[in-house]
Every structure is written in C-alpha cells, then in structure tokens.
C-alpha cells in the first residue's frame, strides 16, 4: 500500500506527548518489551503484570494470561462502560438512578441501597470506586442497559473490542459465578482504557467521602485501596477479594510523565498484595521514564479524503501518547513519522484507521500507534465535486 510519510523530529524540551488513537495492538508491530528484571517482583501472586499506561508497554509479567476469578476488579469494566456512556452523552453524572429490589439484594461489599432509593450517577460511581458496592454496580448497570444481563452482554462485547481474549464476564460486580474469569493482562488493558477518562481518578483516588450527606444517616466511604493514601502518586483503581480469587488489585500511580498500571491476582492477604504492588511501582519509577510525543490537543497532521463532503480532516491528538524508555536512553535519536494511507475515499467513519504514527530510535521502531479519523465524512454529491474541481482548475491558471 502506498502511503504519505511525514517526518517529524521529536523536540523533548517542548514536552510534547501523543494522541488520537485508541489501542488496536494487533494491527501493528509490537514495540520491544523492556528487559525483565532478574528477580520476581511479585513472588506471592498467582499472576501479575506491570504496564506503562500511556504506551501499553509491558515492563514485567508473571502468568499474565492465566484466566482467574477477578472478584471486584470486574467493576473496572462496569466503570468503563459508565464513563464511555457519559462521554458519548448517553448518561450524565447528574442523572438519577433508582435502585431496584434486585440491586438492593446484592450481598458482599455494598453501600446498603434500599429498594426504591434514588442517587445520582456520580454518587453511585463513588459507591463503586471507593466502597466496591455490589449493589451500586447493579443499579448503574440497570440504569444504562435496562438489566444486568444486557449490561453483561455489553461488557463482553467491549472486552472483545479491546482484545481481552482471556476474559468472560458473568456479572457486573465480580461476585462468584461459574465461568466468570479474567487475566492480569486483560485487567491491565481495561484499566488502561478506563484511565483515558481522567475524571475517573476523581473517584478512585479519593481516600474517603460520604454518601447521603444531607440525610439523618450519612454513609462514610473509605477506599478499599489503601495505596491512594500511603503511596506517593497512587490514585486508583480497584481492589478485589473472594475466597476463591484471594486478594487482587489493579492499581495505578503517576509521577511526572510516567503513569503505571500494576495488577496482582491471588495474593494471600492485603499486606502482601499492597507490598508487592508497591515493589512493582518502585522498580518502574526507578528504572523508566516516558518520552512524550504529542500532548492532548496538538495538531498531528491533515487527512485528505477523496470525494468527501470535507476534502480535508485535521487530525488532532485526543489523548497523550508517549514511549517508555530506560532512564538514560531518553533523547537519544528519538524521532517520529506520520504515515497516512495514500488513498482514503469517502465515506469515512469515525474511528476508521487511516494511517499510523511510528516512533523510532535511530532506525529501530519503538512503537507504532494506529491513526484514526476523528469524524465521519460522507461522500460528496456531484455538484460539490464539480464546484471543487472547477475551483481547482481556476486556481491552477
């Protein structure tokens, strides 16, 4: 396939990061994985993974594709679908959510919703993120999809879209169920996707808050993830425990340009779980740094659409993107190149892959990001195409 190539030097001093483009890791060559540490960073975990959130680079992994019961880490997907619905305008933080008898009947961790009780989406999210409310998870699922069963179908569809091949959801809260399983790798993928919605850490990063503040019985919420209080930079995501799953955690922490995701599953107790996640974070923050490519909102190029109602589409960074390097390697011959497909014809749909952004160090490819169209472009009518051709003919004289 012919392609248009744009060579773009990387200016580190400008603090540039990357963009636009959701992860479709199978579409392009995988960047080199950093060398594994000699020692096992999570010796007590049944499985574990350590990932750079921006680039998706895996720094460390142990049995990361083994399907295991995920317990309440399941709720990361529940929160992701809620945040996506809010982003798409199908739901608002201020919308009211009425608790069904079924939602109120959930056992385990809960915020003790009563049948008929009404809370906002925002308060329900707090109940899920801080207190791991099984009841709040079901209430949100029913609000968004009409039933938990339909919501679970949406969860599994989204998991497939994200390439989560080790995952099968049976409910929205992680209560024990036959066939309900995921892997450390898949949990890191959905955690990374959730972190694209920066507002989520407003909830997952809180150590404590209250629900029913104006009632006679305010309900005190304390985050089940104690790292948000005791580890510098930690601001989420989700704990999990059942007798079958043991102690699980998907955690995130950010320092400077580097945001990490650490997932451990099957830990023997909370103390060991937190200590091993801390060890994973400490290792990565000591060894690695993030080199920014584009920051959110930066223009990255222009797409030409043949026979479209729009002849050109500006490509703008929707998210920050970067590459992970060992400390000391940053700035050594890093460059990037935008390669757009040479023939993009209307109609074009939003999210359609139209090229890729390639990051190099010297001649070595470090990372390839798919570039997607930020909007849909319909095919132009004959009169529009005639006027456009006439205009080009006039300008060429």
HSE, CB side, 13 Å, CA atoms: give it for residue 171: 20
Please provide the DSSP assignment of 155-182 as one string.
HHHHHHHTT-TT-B-SSSS----TT-BB
Task: Identify whether 132 is a catalytic site residue.
Answer: yes
Burial 95-129 (b: 16+ CB within 10 A, else e): eebebbeebbebebbbbebeeebebebbbbbbbbb
Catalytic residue among 62, 75, 238, 356: 75
DSSP one-letter code for 63: S
Residues 263, 45: Cα–Cα separation, whole Å: 10
Beta sheet of 364-372, edge-to-edge order: 3-9, 334-341, 353-361, 364-372
Task: Identify whether 72 is a catalytic site residue.
Answer: yes
CA-nearest of 194, 178, 176 to 186 is 194
Burial 276-296 (b: 16+ CB within 10 A, else e): bbbbbbebbbeebbbbbbbbe
CA distance between the termini of the chain: 33
Task: Identify whether 387 is a catalytic site residue.
Answer: no
130: Cβ contacts below 8 Å, ≥ 6 apart: 203, 204, 206, 208, 209, 221, 222, 223, 224
Catalytic residue among 64, 100, 132, 191: 132
| Tokens (6 digits) for 62 | 């142990």
Q: Count CB-CB contacts under 10 A for residue 2.
A: 7
Active site residues: 72, 75, 132
């Amino acid at each position: 396939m012919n392609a248009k190539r744009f060579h773009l030097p990387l200016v580190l001093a400008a603090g540039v990061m990357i963009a636009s483009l959701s992860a479709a890791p199978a579409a392009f060559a995988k960047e080199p994985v950093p060398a594994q540490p000699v020692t096992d960073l999570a010796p007590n975990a049944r499985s574990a993974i350590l990932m750079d959130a921006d680039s998706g680079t895996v720094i460390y992994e142990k049995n990361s594709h083994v399907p295991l019961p995920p317990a309440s880490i399941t709720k990361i997907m529940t929160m992701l679908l809620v945040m996506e619905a809010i982003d798409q305008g199908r739901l608002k933080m201020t919308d009211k959510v009425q608790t069904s008898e079924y939602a109120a009947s959930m056992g385990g961790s809960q915020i003790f919703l009563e049948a008929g009780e009404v809370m906002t989406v925002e308060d329900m999210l707090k109940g899920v993120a801080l207190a791991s409310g099984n009841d709040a998870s079901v209430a949100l699922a029913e609000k968004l999809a009409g039933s938990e069963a339909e919501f679970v179908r949406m969860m599994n569809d989204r998991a497939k879209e994200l390439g989560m091949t080790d995952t099968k959801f049976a409910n929205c809260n992680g209560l024990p169920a036959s066939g309900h399983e995921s892997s450390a790798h898949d949990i890191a993928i959905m955690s990374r996707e959730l972190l694209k919605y920066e507002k989520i850490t407003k909830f997952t990063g809180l150590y404590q808050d209250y629900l029913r503040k104006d009632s006679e019985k305010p309900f005190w919420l304390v985050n089940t993830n104690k790292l948000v209080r005791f580890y510098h930079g930690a601001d989420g995501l989700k704990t999990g425990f059942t007798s079958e799953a043991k102690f699980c955690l998907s955690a995130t922490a950010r320092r400077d340009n580097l945001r990490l995701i650490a997932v451990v599953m099957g830990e023997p107790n909370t103390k060991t779980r937190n200590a091993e996640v801390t060890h994973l974070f400490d290792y990565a923050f000591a060894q690695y740094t993030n080199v920014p490519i584009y920051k959110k909102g930066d223009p990255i190029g222009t797409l030409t659409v043949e026979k479209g109602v729009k002849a050109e589409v500006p490509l703008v960074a929707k998210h920050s993107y970067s590459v992970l390097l060992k400390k000391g390697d940053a700035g050594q011959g890093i460059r990037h190149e935008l390669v757009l497909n040479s023939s993009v014809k209307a109609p074009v749909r939003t999210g359609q892959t139209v090229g890729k952004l390639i990051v190099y160090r010297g001649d070595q490819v470090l990372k390839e990001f798919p570039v997607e169209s930020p909007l849909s472009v319909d095919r132009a009518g004959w009169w529009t195409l005639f006027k456009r051709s006439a205009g080009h003919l006039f300008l060429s004289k």
